[in-house]
Structure 1
């Protein structure tokens, strides 16, 4: 299984998904959007598409001209029946590709906050393991409407839509279950200026202290990608 990744920042890698892919012998290719002249392969050149997070917003095409090509690539992957997983910004880009509106969340949400399952989540094969609240790392200012035909994942106190599944092969996750403590440390170093005071923003020292709690989101994500693989052989 060939996995292609749209990566928006050098330090924001696929995280634990790299180990998962290595265990199963799945090779990676990348479109590194922080490098000059990024190239977007055709869907025939990969089996899965992973779209990672980033500081940019889905509407900032004037500042990040490659967003147009990236959005076209995501729509092409969905149209070709590929497995597509989007995390944070990636989830917002998937939501827009599926016709939903992306907009500013009422509050900035950065920190380890509980994620509660939607009552409909466990009725979806991909989310059937999500039966109890889960504390995960959030780092976002935007959110999205639920795309038509998609099933909801759940919500947090600060954000009503934390994820969705579509056609058992397209998944958007607003939070960050892929992170390792090292990646979190890099995010704090490069993007720590985003930790503006607010009701749902934890300080850098607390995020560092609680980095071991990333393991819960990691476990959720690993079970999810196992199910994606089993349902899309």
Structure 2
């Protein structure tokens, strides 16, 4: 049985469209919530794939959220194993920090749908399949690109949007996993953040409805292509 360990910080920021795709291909998925679960004896090396998902905290919030220290240890252990690992938003920030890079507030919220600009290395990566399709951004922090990693993508708001380490490690600020049919959960779950940022939920809802079908089709192709290389 192929296995996936998914680290989830808030319930609705889960594997999204990746989950049914994985289950259909025989993967057994185990969710871990580091805010409440006992992580002391968790084997983070054995699963075929580890995914660290998003959440509305900072990857540097150890003093506010003590579980961050333990989660960082998990991330470092998985990275050291060299096995397939995907980080999304907060998860990518944890990975960047574990690899020695700085993670910090951008001073602005990047929330909404817009395309990535790929670097030369990004154009040789699975992200090239996006082909300018707008993706969902939802973050206020940014990572620097870790030493030795490939810088894959940027936007006009944030210059560090994706990185990879070899074929097995991928960090994404954007949410390719998000199920746009469930955007209402995001709009409710992050209502305070949207209000403080002056972002109209109606605009996001309309964009999700208009862009979602194409984005999700392409996002699955990106994920499939990356995973095949990561597990090869």
TM (norm. structure 2) is 0.90
Shift of 1:53: 0.4
Moved more, 75-84 or 42-51: 42-51
Equivalence map 1:109-148=2 (5 Å): 109-124=110-125, 126-130=126-130, 132-148=131-147
Contact 1:58 1:93 in 2 (8 A): yes
Distance 1:46 1:52, change over 3 A: same
Shift of 1:182: 4.2
Separation in 2 of the partners of 1:81 and 1:111?
A: 33
Contact 2:54 2:90 in 1 (8 A): yes
Match of 1:214 in 2: 212
Contact 1:43 1:80 in 2 (8 A): no
Shift of 1:39: 5.6
TM (norm. structure 1) is 0.90
Contact 2:39 2:70 in 1 (8 A): no
| Residues 68-88 of structure 1: per-residue CA shift (max 9 Å, x gap) | 111111111111111110111
Moved more, 213-222 or 161-170: 213-222
| Cα RMSD for the two superposed structures | 1.9
Contact 1:4 1:49 in 2 (8 A): yes
Secondary structure in structure 1 of the residue aligned to 2:116: strand
Gaps of 5+ in 1: none
Contact 1:13 1:183 in 2 (8 A): no
Moved more, 174-183 or 24-33: 174-183
Match of 1:64 in 2: 65
Match of 2:31 in 1: 30
Shift of 1:107: 1.8
Distance 1:84 1:191, change over 3 A: same
Contact 2:23 2:29 in 1 (8 A): no
Shift of 1:197: 6.1
Match of 2:185 in 1: 186
Contact 1:137 1:214 in 2 (8 A): no
Secondary structure in structure 1 of the residue aligned to 2:66: coil
Secondary structure in structure 1 of the residue aligned to 2:56: coil
Separation in 1 of the partners of 2:212 and 2:17?
A: 11
Match of 2:91 in 1: 90
Secondary structure in structure 2 of the residue aligned to 1:129: helix
Separation in 2 of the partners of 1:51 and 1:40?
A: 18
| Residues 187-231 of structure 1: per-residue CA shift (max 9 Å, x gap) | 111211111466xx6410111111131334423432232223322
Match of 1:20 in 2: 21
Contact 1:40 1:69 in 2 (8 A): no
Gaps of 5+ in 2: none
User: How many residues in Structure 1 have an aligned counterpart in Structure 2?
Assistant: 229
Shift of 1:43: 2.9
Secondary structure in structure 1 of the residue aligned to 2:64: coil
